[in-house]
Chains A and B, each alone.
Chain A
């Protein structure tokens, strides 16, 4: 009974959503755009976790729920699992995906609008801008993870570790005890 949508449609929808919120709706306030995108992701994660936990027995602890997110949930969304899961056993988990699907098509071109800046500062601002732009695209999956975990009864805060963009996306989950 399920209907199918092509993956490229979903990819384009994500790109357009980020671009619309950043450039048109909240062009002067990128933090608000980020919060709105994350809130949309929260609701989507909430509903998706209902659907994907349907046939499964209940989870006995937080680690099992996180493992569910890394394996089954991520596989349903992106057809692959999280590549690396690290924890400090005190409520913080790092989920690392080495080829995050929505970032694979991302290319950062140095914009010619920076022509009037000096050479050294244009180098680092280009890199900062690259990090900023790619991290905008990661707010939605952060929201998805946060929504899914909240629906499983685990309040948490999810952020992005930007040290290795765009090669791999790392999500840092901090459980609020």
Chain B
């Protein structure tokens, strides 16, 4: 199941950080998200010339820790989405689908004229949409 998702701006400033476990290790999750930013920078600055992944938005599995897997996604506007999950057999297609819907929710939240770019996203609608997407992620990969 998804443990945590984060949106990080282009200056590595956090825009949205939400964890979905009742456990008390929110700090550890924030730390994991922070470390994954380094991995993203590394991937972007030293692209693997062999693959066709030079300019794709979806970055794939960033790095596995002992219980978690961390996936990354980089938009054209240098905004990074980070997904931390404890699923053992999560499929690539599911994660891509998740990021696509999440990106769409993010774009709608940012198009709010009262949202200040660079500040945290405080929209209630965005939080609700995100929790819907997270719930349906768990269901679809259980099928």
Seen from chain A, the residues whose Cβ lies within 8 Å of a Cβ on chain B are 43, 46-47, 49-51, 53-54, 56-60, 151-153
Contact = CB atoms under 8 A, between A and B. Distances in A.
Contact of B76 (A43, A46, A47, A59): A59
Contact of A50 (B54, B74, B77): B77
Contacts, number: 45
A53 B77 contact: yes
B107 A153 contact: no
B107 A58 contact: no
B27 to A, nearest CB: 30
Contact of B77 (A43, A57, A60, A152): A152
Nearest to B117: A46
A43 B76 CA distance: 17
Interface residues of B, number: 19
8 contacts: A49-B76, A50-B79, A51-B107, A53-B76, A58-B75, A59-B55, A151-B77, A152-B76
A53 B77 CA distance: 8
Nearest to A58: B55
A60 B78 CA distance: 12
Interface centre among A46, A54, A56, A153 (most CB of B within 10 A): A54
A60 B55 contact: yes
Interface of B: 10, 54-57, 74-79, 103-104, 106-107, 110-111, 113, 117
Contacts of B56: 57-58
A158 B78 CA distance: 22
Given A50-B77, A152-B77, A60 B54 contact: yes
B117 A58 contact: no
Q: By DSSP majority rule, is chain A's interface helix, strand, loop, or mixed?
A: loop
A49 B110 contact: no
A153 B44 CA distance: 14
A54 B103 contact: yes
A57 B57 contact: yes
A153 B78 contact: yes
The 3 closest A-B pairs by CB, nearest first: A53-B76, A57-B55, A58-B55
A82 to B, nearest CB: 19
B133 to A, nearest CB: 15
Contacts of B55: 57-60
Contacts of A49: 76-77
Contacts of B106: 50
